[in-house]
Structure 1
C-alpha cells in the first residue's frame, strides 16, 4: 500500500488508478478527485481545481499547520473531553478459574486466587448503581476465567441488580456474558433467556484453527461441545448471541475464511474482533496485514448477511461523521466501563487487571472520583504523531497500551495498522454498519 503524498504541508493525498482522495487529518474532511482533477491539481495555481478545493476549505495559502496543536484546538472547539464522568458498566471478574487453557489469554487463569464473594459483588454493584442513579442504563458483563463456573454468583448478582435498579431509578440493566461455550447447563440457558442476555462466545475459527490455541485443561479440543452449545443458544428465543474472535498466529491469513465459517457453519451473524493487545511490550501481529485482513473479513461478513466490528470501524466512523474517534476508553456519554475484581477492587481499565495505577478499592473511588482520569489517554504524545494521517483516529497509544509498551512511543505495528486503516477507509464504499 503506497504511502500518501503530503499536499501543501497540510493534507494527505491518496492516489489510486488515476483518482485521488484528499484528507485533512485534523478535521477529517475529505474530497474525491477524478483523474482530470488530479491532473489539474498538479498544474500551476490557480486552476479550476485549486479554486474548487479552496471553496471546500482545502487551501494552499498560509504556513503548514502544527497538526498536533491544531488537533487539540479542534477537540476544544468540539467540546471533546477525555475525562470520564462516571463508571456506567462493570466487567465483573468472578473467578480466574477456567476449564480451558488458551495460550494467548490476557488473564492469568487457574492461579488459585480466591473467587469473588457475594459480599464483594454486592459492594461493587451497589457502587455501580449509586454512580448511575436516574440513568437510562447500566451494563454488567460477567467475566472470568470462565464465569459460568460461578453461575451461582451470576444469579445472585442479577437478582440484586434488579433490586438496585428499582432503588436507584435505573431504567434498564444490560447483561452480557463472555464465555468459551464449553459448558452450558439448562438452568443457565433458562436464566439467560429470562433476562435477555447478550452472549459472546470466544471462538477463533474452525476446529483446525480454534484448537491451536484453545484446548480444555486436559489438552483435548472442545469444538464439538462448543458447536452444540452454540446451537442451543441460537435456538433459544430472546438471546443476542455473537462471536468474540481473537486474531492469532493460527488465523492470521485466514480471517475471511474464518468469518465465513462462523456465519455459515456455526450460524453466528455478529462477530466482534478483539483489538490486538501488546504482549511482552510489543504487538505480535503485522499491523498492515491485519488491517487488510480485517477489511476483507468485514466484506465477507456483509456479503453473508452478518456484521463484523473491529477497531477498523473507528476509521470508518470517523471519516463518515467527520468527528475524531480518539477516546476509545470512554463511551459516548463520557462514562467508563471498568472491571470489578475480587477483593473490593476496581480497575478503571476493563482489560488490565494488574497495572497498579488502574486499580483502586471501591472506597477509594467513592472518596475520590478524580481517580477515573488515570484512564484518559495523552493525545498525540510524540512529535511524529503530527505527521500521521491517522492523527484524529488513533491519536497515539491508549493508557493501557502505554502501560504495556512501557512508554509514550507507539509500537511500529500499531502505527502501521492505523495508517493502513485510513488508507483503506478513504476508499471504502460499504458505509458504517
Structure 2
C-alpha cells in the first residue's frame, strides 16, 4: 500500500513498504529513499538524510510562493507559453455521415448537414500552407463521421496538398486518417500506400468488447470485416497502421488483455489510448483504475514488441525530463492542430466542433492570429491544484473540459487519474535520483 503526504509544505512524500520517494511537483525533481532514510527523515533535523536531501535541493524552508504561482513562474522561466504561435495541422471533418453508431462518440453523426465541398477544402488547405510557408512539415488528418465515405474528397485534398507544398515550399505533408475500418476499398489502400499514410483504426477490443459500444447503423457488429481490412492494410506495405483505443466501461478491467489481442490477433503494434472526454459532463470510467490499467497495458505492449501511448506517458516524460507537460492542447513547438469544418469554419479544439468560443472563420484567423489564444489553458484554476502531485503534469482542466463540466473544478475521476499516474511514474523510477 502506498501512502502520500505533503512534506514541508511543498514536496510530495510517498511511502511504500517502508521505502519512500520525494517529488517536487513544481520542478519535478524526485529522489528515492531507502527504509533507513525514511526513518531518518522523520527524526528531529538535521540528520544525515536532511543534509543529503539539501544537497539535492530538497530543503525544509517554507515555500517562497504559493505552489500555483511557483509553477507559473517556472513556466515563464522555461519559456513555456500556453498560447499557440500558429496552426500547423488540420483535422479535416469531411462529413458527419457514418456507417456506425458509437455510444461515446463526441461527434453528432448522420445529421443530414452538407458535407465539406472541394472549394472549402481548398480554402482550408491554402490557409494551412500559407501559414507554414517555408517550414518543414504540416499535418492533415481526414476525419468524420466516417471520412472514407467521402474518399473522393480525400483524393482531391491530397492532390491539392502536393501542389500547395510546392507553391509554399513546405518540405513534407504528414497524412493520417481516422477510420472505423469497416469500409476500406482497394483504391483506398493504393492511395494510402502511395502517400505513406498513417491509418488509425478505431477499435476497442475483441468482438465481445468492441460490439458493446461500436456497431453498424443496422445494429450488427462489424468485427470480421474490420479484421479483414486491417490485414489488407498491413499486407499492402508502406502504410503505418495503428489502433485508436478508447477506454470504456466495457474494456476497463481488461485493458491489458485487450492490448494483447490487438497486437497478437490484429497484428497492430502501435496503439494510442484516447483520454476519456466528459461529453456528458463527467468521466464514465474510474480514474485510479484507468491509470493502473494503462500502466499494465503499456507493459504488455512493450513485452510484445509494440508501443502504447496514452496520457500516462505525459507523467513519464515530465519526470524523465524534469519539464512540465501540462499543455496538452498544443504541440511541443507551440503549434496547434485544429478542426476544419464545413462552411470555412475552424474549431480551435479538434475534439469539440460546436462550442462557439472555439469557432472562427478562416478570414477571422487571418485578420487576428491572437484568436488562437482562445484555446490556451488556464493553469491550475482552483486552490486544490496547488496541493496536487500532478500540478505540472495535469495543470487543471483544459478549456474544452471546462466547457463540458461547466466550471473550473475538474471531474473527481480526472483528478484521481492524474494523481495515480504520477504515483505510478515515481515508483517506476522515472527520473528518480
**Residue of structure 2 in register with 1:163 after alignment:** 163
Residue in structure 2 matched with residue 269 of structure 1 by the alignment: 269
What is the deviation of 1:2?
4.0
Tell whether the 8 Å contact from 2:181 to 2:229 is kept in structure 1 after alignment.
yes
Counterpart of 1:366 in 2: which secondary structure? helix
Matches within 5 A, 1:10-25: 10-25=10-25
In the TM superposition, what is the alpha-carbon distance from 1:36 to its structure 2 partner? 1.3
**Within 2, Cα distance between the matches of 1:391 and 1:419?**
9
Q: How does 1:10-409 map to 2 (within 5 A)?
A: 10-63=10-63, 65-409=65-409
C-alpha contact 1:200 1:242 (8 A) present in aligned 2: yes
Cross-structure match for 1:426: 426
- Deviation, 1:303, is 1.0
1:7, 1:333 → 2: CA distance? 35
Superposition deviation, residue 65 in structure 1: 4.1
Q: Is the 8 A contact 2:3 2:16 kept in 1?
A: no
Output the CA distance in 2 between the equivalents of 1:63 and 1:328. Answer: 27
Contact conserved, 2:278 with 2:404, CA < 8 A, in 1?
yes
Instruction: Provide the TM-score with structure 1 as the length reference.
Output: 0.98
C-alpha contact (below 8 Å) 1:9/1:64 kept by paired residues: no
SS in 2 for 1:101: strand
Shift of 1:279: 2.1
Match of 1:8 in 2: 8
Please give the alpha-carbon distance, in whole angstroms, between the structure 2 residues aligned to 1:128 and 1:63. 45
Q: Which runs of 5+ in 2 are unaligned?
A: none
Q: Would the aligned equivalents of 1:176 and 1:200 in 2 still touch at CA under 8 Å?
A: yes
Deviation of 1:429 after TM superposition, in Å, equals 4.6
CA distance in 2: counterparts of 1:157 and 1:194, whole angstroms: 14
For residues 58-104 of structure 1, what are the alpha-carbon distances to aligned partners after superposition, in whole Å with 9 as ceiling and x for unaligned? 00124564101111111111111111010000000000001111111
Q: 1:270 to 1:430 in 2, by over 3 A?
A: farther
Deviations 1:15-43 (A, max 9, x none): 11211110000000000011111111112
* Whole-angstrom distance in 1 between the partners of 2:319 and 2:4: 16
**1-structure distance, mates of 2:430, 2:393:** 19
Give the C-alpha shift of residue 430 in structure 1.
7.6
Aligned residues: 431
Q: Is the 8 A contact 1:10 1:64 kept in 2?
A: no
Question: Secondary structure of 1:407's match?
Answer: coil
Contact 1:325–1:392 (CA under 8 A) maintained in structure 2: yes
Q: Following the alignment from structure 1 to structure 2, what is the Cα–Cα distance between the partners of residues 103 and 40?
A: 54
2-side partners of 1:327 and 1:136: how far apart?
Answer: 23
RMSD between superposed Cα atoms in Å:
1.1
Conserved in 1, the CA contact under 8 Å of 2:200 and 2:244? Answer: yes
Question: For 2:55 and 2:309, how far apart are their aligned partners in 1?
Answer: 36
Q: State the secondary structure of the residue aligned to 1:426.
A: helix
Q: Is the 8 A contact 2:281 2:404 kept in 1?
A: yes
Distance 1:374 1:407 in 2: 16
Cα distance in structure 2, aligned partners of 1:30 and 1:430: 9
CA deviations over 1:330-359 (Å, ceiling 9, x no partner): 011110000000010000111000000001
Q: Aligned partners of 2:92, 2:193: CA distance in 1, in Å? A: 20
CA displacement 1:111-153 (0-9 Å, x = unmatched): 0000000000000000000110011000000000010100000
Q: Secondary structure at the match of 1:161?
A: helix
Structure 1 residues without counterparts, runs of 5 or longer = none
Report the Cα distance in structure 2 between the residues aligned to 1:63 and 1:317, rounded to whole angstroms. Answer: 25
Q: Structure 1 residues 6 and 126 mapped into 2: Cα distance closer, same or farther (>3 Å)?
A: same
Give the conservation status (yes or no) of the 8 Å contact 1:318–1:324.
yes
Secondary structure of the 2:243 match is: strand
Structure 1 residue 161: Cα displacement: 0.2
Q: State the shift of 1:246 in Å.
A: 0.4
Contact 1:10/1:65, CA 8 A, preserved across alignment: no
The Cα shift of 1:216 comes to: 0.8
